[in-house]
Amino acid sequence: MGTTEVIDPSTGEVFTTVPSTGLEETDAAIDRARKAFTGWRRVAPGDRARLLRRFAAVVEDHIEELARLEVRNAGHTIGNARWEAGNVRDVLNYYAGAPERLSGRQIPVAGGVDVTFHEPLGVVGIIVPWNFPMPIAGWGFAPALAAGNTVVLKPAELTPLTAIRLGELALEAGLPEDVFQVLPGKGSVVGQRFVTHPAVRKVCFTGSTEVGKSIMAGCADQVKRVTLELGGKSANIVFADADLPAAAAAAPGAVFDNAGQDCCARSRILVEASVYDRFLALFEPAVRDFRVLDPSDDSSEMGPLISSGQRSSVASYLDGADVAFRGSVPDQSGWWFPPTVLLARNRADRHWREEIFGPVVSVLPFRDEAEAIELANDTEYGLSGSIWTRDVGRALRVSRAVETGALSVNSNSSVRYWTPFGGMKQSGLGRELGPDALLSFTDVKNVFLATGD
Ligand code: NAD
């Protein structure tokens, strides 16, 4: 087994190494998961629920440790990282309620009794990106385990530490060996093997649209179930009748949170032309005041980018662009990039069209409601978005018309673990979180019992 160096993005320095799982070890882990499935699916629903609640309680006891690990490994602000660890706890608790409620139906038919069961699939492979290592892992493993599957999980190469720790905490909580295994390693080796190994019955992938497409194509070969959570270029639509100070004050957080490395980032701001200048005048101080500080500082609102490569990629979007105004960065080494506001000249601008995955937002005026909808939908992405207006009818009309999976009105938040999350168009396939995600880790079995009537 080789090793991978882990870098602190706030300093750019290597601070630890982790094993890099090879192909043979991946096969061996999948085989152990396949064997463990036989026992795990038979654990009584109440006992499985109790084990998941205990796992949640152990995570709760380690929130500060997990959060500090994420600050170091991913450069997340400590406030965000605490929320992320808490989200793993919450999602475990939420799906801990599922095993005891995973009811089928009794369907009236002639000649007998018909019942359905939600059967677990077997081994589920979860592939996680580097931008939200903890929550995205939990959104996969919690419902998968609750439904009676065993899980092999591959964290991103850059951010394996919290996932490895969560694997240890699962054992500490009493989950049986091999029910939940974390396999740090390369996407091309471990992740790809989840796609090709016949014992893995479902792949949950979160990451770039490009890799997601190749995973979907690979899964077709075995008719493997797949959930995809991919990229985004979400619109924040500000109408003239909105509470403009509130919309402008909230807009930096909606795109610069996690240094813009957020699939839900509202990276396109559409502003009704009649209030365009006023909005920008309100937006500028909010951007300049956005606190880009060492992520371990309690008041930090934004840390560094994940890597030097990501910083070069983000910087390339400023070439030839109209920079309206920028925030600041601390005077220290690491992969820092200031919050940056670009004025789009038209919808063809590269920074308007492509997912930048950094703290860069593009602003464009629109004439009327119809043009706002048309501009918002002029993209192959469709993950999230916001609408700012005081007109309730318009809020609902535009919400129905914008082609994205998770919309907020007079708010920029997309993720609540009680509600479905996922993308339309090329932003994804399937939904995570909420009441329905559980069923995507099961197949319906129909059983007819002849009664001799
Ligand atoms: P990525 O696609 O490069 O990698 C994601 C994961 O896939 C990593 O664990 C990687 O090792 C693995 N991987 C890479 N190649 C693989 C292959 N051939 N087979 C199997 N696995 C492979 O993405 P990234 O750069 O880590 O993450 C950023 C992207 O993720 C952005 O595009 C972002 O929008 C997206 N994202 C989407 C969501 C969502 O919920 N929709 C959430 C977070 C991130």
Alpha carbon of 429 to ligand 1 centroid (Å): 14
Alpha carbon of 111 to ligand 1 centroid (Å): 51
359-379 tens-digit pLDDT: 999 999 999 999 999 999 999
Contacts 24+ apart (CB under 8 A), 1-5: 1/25, 4/157, 4/160, 4/184, 4/185
Instruction: Please name the residue whose Cα sits nearest to atom 14 of ligand 1.
Output: 187
Of 3.40.50.150, 1.20.210.10, 3.40.309.10, 3.50.50.60, the CATH number of 235-416 is 3.40.309.10
| Active centre residues (catalytic) | 229
Q: Are 100 and 45 in contact (CB under 8 A)?
A: yes
Query: C-alpha distances in angstroms, 101 versus 49, 148, 151, 430?
Result: 10, 13, 21, 21
Instruction: Please name the residue whose Cα sits nearest to atom 15 of ligand 1.
Output: 187
Atom of ligand 1 nearest to the CA of 263: 34
User: Domain ranges in the chain?
Assistant: 2-230+426-450, 235-416
- Report residues of the chain scoring pLDDT below 50: none
- The answer to whether the CB of 211 is under 6 A from ligand 1 is yes
108-134 tens-digit pLDDT: 999 999 999 999 999 999 999 999 999
Predicted pLDDT at 434? 97
Alpha carbon of 130 to ligand 1 centroid (Å): 7
Q: Are strands 322-326 and 340-343 parallel, antiparallel or unpaired?
A: antiparallel
Predicted pLDDT at 247? 98
- The answer to whether the CB of 260 is under 6 A from ligand 1 is no
Q: Report the residue among 91, 127, 356 best suited for mutation to probe ligand 1: largest number of ligand atoms under 8 A from its CB.
A: 127
- The answer to whether the CB of 196 is under 6 A from ligand 1 is no
- The answer to whether the CB of 158 is under 6 A from ligand 1 is no
Atom of ligand 1 nearest to the CA of 154: 9
- The answer to whether the CB of 139 is under 6 A from ligand 1 is no
The pTM of the full predicted model, rounded to 2 decimals, is 0.97
Q: What is the third-level CATH fold of 2-230+426-450?
A: Aldehyde Dehydrogenase; Chain A, domain 1 (3.40.605)
Alpha carbon of 230 to ligand 1 centroid (Å): 7
- The answer to whether the CB of 306 is under 6 A from ligand 1 is no
- The answer to whether the CB of 334 is under 6 A from ligand 1 is no
Cα Rg of the chain (Å, integer): 23
- The answer to whether the CB of 206 is under 6 A from ligand 1 is yes
Instruction: Please name the residue whose Cα sits nearest to atom 23 of ligand 1.
Output: 207
Q: Report the residue among 206, 221, 381, 419 best suited for mutation to probe ligand 1: largest number of ligand atoms under 8 A from its CB.
A: 206
Atom of ligand 1 nearest to the CA of 212: 2
Atom of ligand 1 nearest to the CA of 428: 41
